[in-house]
Copies of this chain bind each other. A is one copy, B any other.
Amino acid sequence: MQKQPRRQVKEARSLLENIITSKDNPVIKLYQKLSSSKKERLQYGLFVLEGLRITEDAIREESGLSHLIVTEQAREKFGERLFQADLRDTRIIVISNELGNKIASTDNTQGVFAICRIPQQRQMTFAENGRYIVLFGLQDPGNVGMMIRTADALGIDGVIMSKSCDLYSPKVIRSTMGSVFRMDIMIENDADRLFELLTQSGAETSAAIIDKDAIPVTECSFTGRQAVLIGNEGNGLPPDISARCSRRVTIPMHGTVNSLNAAMAAGILMWELKK
């Protein structure tokens, strides 16, 4: 078992002598297109990663790394660590530090980038007593990422995204802190099909809304299979969506209405769902 990675390291090393310096290199051009455009991500079925930790998470969870791009400096610092993994299906590319700075989205890049395959959409399988959240119309990538990260930390069984921002945008991916590779995530943008799926699942559906007449979450019992729907940052859930749920729940708030951030509200609901 030990020999294989060693041989790979050697092979990888020999491939790593050609250092790319030009933005016109086809892989670099692809990386940049995927970074900035949802359309290109959909067309190629690929998305990008930036950073050592999240790239290691992707490798660890066998998340279909198509390209691993490292700067010369990152090869020195992290090469041993990264190239130990099974990267048979991954093309490794070394770029100059300058080019790394050009394609980086942060000021202090670690110089580790990757192109990853978007996994095939699968139907969610609903576990007995499973706990699910539905993100409906969420638009802020940082919020969506934080919700996925929190769902992972609290042991939520799955996340369904509907009419929300692109799961594969670099900002969402970054703010999941690797949870995107561990969580069961499904995308269903058609509201009718979404409710068909929820009905078939047998889950009790709770619409999270800001309304004094809704049931305070402290008075809700969450038994059996449960799905909580969370709405847009500014506008909440559309009334017709909220009306299709079995009940409407709310987090009792003090002071100004609407003063909990959407990710924080989702976090508190997931906490109540799981504890």
Residues of A at the B interface (CB closer than 8 Å) are 146, 149-150, 152-155, 177-179, 182, 218, 252-256, 259-261, 263-264, 267-268, 271, 275
Contacts and interface: CB of A to CB of B under 8 A. Distances in A.
Contacts of A149: 259-261
List of 4 A-B pairs having minimum Cβ-Cβ separation, nearest first: A155-B254, A153-B259, A153-B260, A264-B267
11 contacts: A146-B264, A150-B264, A152-B255, A152-B256, A153-B260, A178-B256, A179-B259, A182-B256, A252-B275, A264-B264, A271-B271
Given A263-B264, A267-B267, A271-B271, A182 B255 contact: yes
Contacts of A179: 255, 259
Contact of A153 (B150, B154, B254): B254
A261 B146 contact: yes
Contacts of A155: 253-255
A263 B150 CA distance: 11
Given A271-B268, A271-B271, A259 B146 contact: no
Contacts of A267: 264, 267-268
Given A155-B255, A268-B268, A271-B271, A260 B150 contact: yes
Contacts of A153: 253-256, 259-260, 264
Given A218-B275, A268-B267, A268-B271, A154 B261 contact: no
A53 to B, nearest CB: 11
A267 B150 CA distance: 12
Contacts of A263: 264
A255 B182 CA distance: 9
Contacts of A259: 149, 152-153, 177, 179
A254 B152 contact: yes
A182 B271 CA distance: 27
A255 B271 CA distance: 15
A260 to B, nearest CB: 4
Contacts of A268: 267-268, 271
Contacts of A218: 275
Contacts of A146: 261, 264
A154 to B, nearest CB: 6
A66 B122 CA distance: 57
Contact of A254 (B154, B252, B254): B154
